[in-house]
Amino acid sequence: MAEFTEALFSIFFVETLINGLLLGGVLALLSLGLNLIFGVIDVVWICYAEIIMLGMYTIYFLHVDGGMPLIAAAAGGVGVTALLGWLTHRLVIGYLLDAAPINQLLATGGLLFFFQGLAMVAFGIEFRNLGVSLGSLALSEDIYLSWTRLLSFAIAAGVVIVLFQFLSRSYLGAAIRAISQDREIMVLMGVNTKKLYLLTSAIGGGLAGLAAALLAMQYDVHPFIGLSFGPITFMVCVMGGLGNMVGGFLAAFVFSELITIGGYFAELEWGYVLAFGFFIAAMFIRPEGLFARKS
């Protein structure tokens, strides 16, 4: 995981805080799709980070091997991950809707291994680098901020706003909110729940592709990269109150600050230890999530 946040190291605490904020943007984007899926279908996709990993490979493949411009490659990545999300529901979760939640979680764990195997078969185990750098913004002589990270932050914020508008203003958005509150009676409203689940899975998958595009610019891809940011993504979602997108957004920043501050005072891994430790403690205080609304 060292490479994941290596760039965060700095001798200046302010820079650390700002970097924490920016890392929060990436984490927020990572957790958005997972949160949406959980909110609607009530299933935790353990394999979500692996979908992001496959998205990163798609972008790498289209851009480096296929010679496509970066934007087009990113769009291709979003398309592929949306398809993967759709397939995940169509071929796996759809058969387990009435099974115990833990079985649903374990089935997506099977997908995790499958996706890792798929990436290994198709791309091998070498680390692959997109070779794109947007450079950095110099705030002062000593403080630099990575453009990629600034961009991630802006896109994450933008996606949250768009998603929020979609959920609160459109019929489809209302249905997505409603189905998480009472699945059975959706039929009485004329909602084809199967279709809505598939659509949500595809949107969630597409969001993974968006996250993949931003991660591919910052980190090398390899088949097991999902394991390095998967756990953190789940923690962010759970702490925000699973399914609560605004909560997840805030939780992402709490986590990212803990990681960067921990990393500032000691090794980066201690930052993660601090963040996970905080997560475990927070679960005991408010099992329903730190930012969950009381119902």
CB of 253 to another protein, least distance (A): 18
Residue spans of alpha helices (H) in 42-98: 48-60, 70-87
Interface with another protein (CB under 8 A), residue from 9, 10, 97, 109: 109
Comparing CA positions, the residue from 181, 294, 207, 292 lying closest to residue 247 is 292
Interface with another protein (CB under 8 A), residue from 11, 67, 98, 102: 102
**DSSP character string of 122-177:** HH-SS-B-------EEESSSS-EEEHHHHHHHHHHHHHHHHHHHHHHHSHHHHHHH
Q: In this structure, what are the phi and psi dihedrals at residue 191, rounded to the nearest 5 degrees?
A: -95, 130
- Residue 123 in contact with another protein, rule: CB under 8 A: yes
- Residue 31 in contact with another protein, rule: CB under 8 A: no
Spell out the residues 6+ positions from residue 129 whose beta carbon is closer than 8 angstroms to its own.
Answer: 220, 221
Cβ neighbours around 122 below 10 Å, total: 11
Q: Which is nearer to another protein, 18 or 37 (CB)?
A: 37
Comparing CA positions, the residue from 221, 202, 212, 226 lying closest to residue 74 is 212
Q: Which is nearer to another protein, 135 or 280 (CB)?
A: 280
Residues between 150 and 179 with contacts to another protein, criterion CB under 8 A: 171, 174-175, 177-178
Residues between 230 and 249 with contacts to another protein, criterion CB under 8 A: 230-231, 234-235, 238
Residues lying near another protein in the complex (CB under 8 A) are found at 1, 44, 46, 92, 95-96, 99-103, 105-107, 109-125, 171, 174-175, 177-178, 181-182, 184-193, 223, 227, 230-231, 234-235, 238, 266-267, 269-270, 272-273, 276-277, 279-280, 283-284, 287, 293, 295
